Amino acid sequence: MSKGDKKRERPPEPEGLPAPIVDAHTHLDACGASTAAEVRKIVDRAEAAGVARVVTVADDIDSARWTVEASAWDDRVFSAVALHPTRAKDFGEAEREVLEGLVGNPRVVAVGETGLDYYWDFSPPEPQQEAFRWHIDLAKRSGKPLMIHDRDAHADILRILAEEGAPETVIFHCFSGDAEFARECVDAGYVLSFAGTATFRNANARGLREAARRVPVEQMLVETDAPFLAPHPFRGRPNEPYCVNYTLRDLAELREVDVAELAEATTTTAERVFGFPRAATS
């Protein structure tokens, strides 16, 4: 098999975890699922690896509708709805009306992903910030957690949250800051969700790994952001919810704690944050 063929393969399915965990942020539609049967296959693979529940997250209006539909197909799937900041230049009254109608669904457990992205040049900062403020208000009115996308925008994210008044629960999806920024977020009461990037071994990941080592476990989630950001040592390969198993194991080693301990702790955090019922114990 060529190196190129290997890059197109999903990572091997790992041994199941000693306690069930939650993939706090994934994109099942971008993973290739469009039907109930395709969703079930992905979530079955996740469950075999110890991933009992997933939150599938929207990035546009069609995706928002689909995530809510998919959450009705399988009890292990929950939804988050919003318009991604890179699409904010197209955010208008029609999009607001759709999201207002979807957010009250009981399978919707977060408003997200919203926030700011100054890395890509798809939407200027002004419409991004306006859309972010609207999503903050939606989260507060709906009583749902706010799930934040933050890329190269740490200072403006914190400033706008302070100006608007943060919702009761704020989740920094795919947390990308260093230990100092993590401390600011933790002190504000925010929850940090770590993806495969926190397992990377390159120099740029050192600050992020230190943040993942230090954050209090009661403010910590794990996620895939699949199909993106497959964890070490599978970086660059297609990601899927079962791969959060690898991330959880890597973070347990980094934090020098037992895998079962970290699995149980992050699941407890997810249950509190998203309002899930407690996982069944054997």
Query: How many CB atoms are closer than 10 A to CB 69?
Result: 14
Stretch 21-37: mean pLDDT: 98
Q: Is residue 1 part of a domain?
A: no
Q: Give the phi and the psi of residue 105 in degrees, each rounded to 5.
A: -60, 135
Cα–Cα distance between 55 and 236 in angstroms, integer? 22
Are the C-beta atoms of residues 2 and 247 closer than 8 Å to each other? no
- Domain of residue 141, residue span: 17-274
Query: What type of residue sits at position 239?
Result: N
Q: Is residue 142 part of a domain?
A: yes
Annotated binding-site positions for a divalent metal cation: 25, 27, 113, 149, 173, 225
Question: What pLDDT is recorded for position 233?
Answer: 97
Q: Is residue 5 part of a domain?
A: no
Of 190, 160, 187, 158, residue with least CA distance to 173: 190
Q: Is residue 170 part of a domain?
A: yes
| % the chain with pLDDT above 70 | 96
Cα–Cα distance between 98 and 96 in angstroms, integer? 5
Query: What type of residue sits at position 278?
Result: R
The DSSP line for 133-175 is HHHHHHHHHHTPPEEEEEES-HHHHHHHHHHH---S-EEETT-
User: In DSSP terms, which residues pair with 146 in a beta bridge?
Assistant: 111, 170
List pLDDT tens digits, range 158-191: 999 999 999 999 999 999 999 999 999 999 999 9
Stretch 126-139: mean pLDDT: 98
Are the C-beta atoms of residues 118 and 153 closer than 8 Å to each other? yes
| Residue 8 pLDDT grade (very low, low, confident, very high; cuts 50, 70, 90) | confident
The domain spanning residue 235 has which CATH number?
A: 3.20.20.140
Q: Is residue 4 part of a domain?
A: no
Tokens standing for 70? 């998919």
Residue with tokens 């980094």: 254
pTM: 0.95
Cα–Cα distance between 278 and 32 in angstroms, integer? 29
Question: What pLDDT is recorded for position 279?
Answer: 65
Cα–Cα distance between 93 and 200 in angstroms, integer? 40
Q: Is residue 12 part of a domain?
A: no
Distances (CA, A) of 57 to 12, 61, 68, 84: 24, 11, 9, 10
How many domains would you assign to the chain? 1
Helix segments in 49-113, DSSP class H: 61-73, 93-102
Q: Is residue 254 part of a domain?
A: yes
Cα–Cα distance between 105 and 55 in angstroms, integer? 14
Annotated binding-site positions: 25, 27, 113, 149, 173, 225
Stretch 217-238: mean pLDDT: 98
5: pLDDT strictly greater than 60:
no
Q: For the sheet with 170-172, list strands across it.
A: 21-26, 51-57, 77-81, 108-117, 146-151, 170-172, 191-194, 220-222
Question: What DSSP designation does 219 have?
Answer: G
Q: Is residue 153 part of a domain?
A: yes
